[in-house]
């Protein structure tokens, strides 16, 4: 009986090691690969966010959510350039859960949040907020990254601050 128990335990431990070894080894050399990661993306034509999880290079879950940007635009598609709509913002792995490589749209979710803050702080009308949101999408699509969009938002915030101090 003892020999049988040892065999069962060894098989269980061996099975666990076989299942997890590739993840642990691969994560040591290429931590953000799709062998085990979570991917966050933004649609630069609608403003929606997509959250996907991968295990052994297979997508095991995906959900698409509206963001404040897509809510501001009310479902409107901004299409000013022939570009792919979904762009990676962050990729997280179990080993590096708080760190992501820097992607060309790495700051996109923060920029969406900046529009919300501008709307609330400066009391922007829905039309003004929509214009800023639409221009953000134009910047993303025509420049292919979030950097120029950041310059646009900074410039817009300075304009709003100047007009506020003149009052």
Tell me the per-residue pLDDT of 73-82, one tens digit each, with 9 for 90 and over: 998 999 999 9
Count the residues in the chain. Answer: 167
Range of the domain at 24: 1-30
* Same-domain status, 19 and 43: no
Same domain, yes or no, for 37 and 25?
Answer: no
pLDDT in tens, 60-75: 999 999 999 999 999 8
Do residues 10 and 54 share a domain?
no
Tokens of 164: 């506020």
6 and 40 co-located in one domain: no
21, 97: one domain: no
- Residue ranges of the alpha helices (H) in the chain? 2-29, 68-73, 108-122, 126-143, 147-166
| Number of C-beta neighbours around residue 125 at 10 A | 9
Tokens 């049988």, residue located:
4
Whether the per-residue pLDDT at 99 is higher than 80: the answer is: no
User: Tokens 């959250």 sit at which residue?
Assistant: 51
Domain identity same for 42 and 113: yes
Our count of domains for the chain comes to 2
Residues 18-38 have a mean pLDDT of 67
| pLDDT of 96 over the 60 cut | no
Does one domain contain both 38 and 89?
yes
> 20 and 45: one domain?
no
Percent above pLDDT 70 for the chain = 87
pTM: 0.80
Sheet with 86-92: strands ordered across: 58-65, 49-55, 36-43, 86-92
Together in a domain, 141 and 122:
yes
């Amino acid at each position: 009986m003892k020999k049988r128990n040892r065999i069962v335990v060894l098989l269980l431990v061996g099975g666990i090691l076989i299942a997890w070894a590739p993840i642990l080894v691969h994560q040591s050399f290429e931590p953000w690969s799709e062998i085990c990661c979570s991917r966050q993306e933004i649609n630069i034509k609608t403003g929606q966010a997509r959250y996907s999880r991968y295990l052994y290079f297979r997508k095991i879950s995906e959900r698409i959510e509206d963001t404040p940007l897509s809510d501001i635009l009310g479902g409107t598609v901004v299409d000013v350039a022939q570009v792919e709509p979904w762009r990676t913002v962050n990729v997280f792995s179990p080993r590096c859960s708080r760190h992501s490589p820097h992607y060309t749209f790495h700051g996109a979710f923060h920029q969406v949040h900046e529009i919300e803050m501008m709307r609330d702080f400066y009391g922007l009308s829905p039309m003004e907020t929509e214009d800023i949101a639409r221009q953000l999408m134009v910047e993303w699509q025509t420049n292919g990254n979030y950097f120029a969009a950041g310059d646009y938002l900074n410039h817009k915030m300075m304009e709003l601050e100047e007009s506020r101090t003149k009052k």
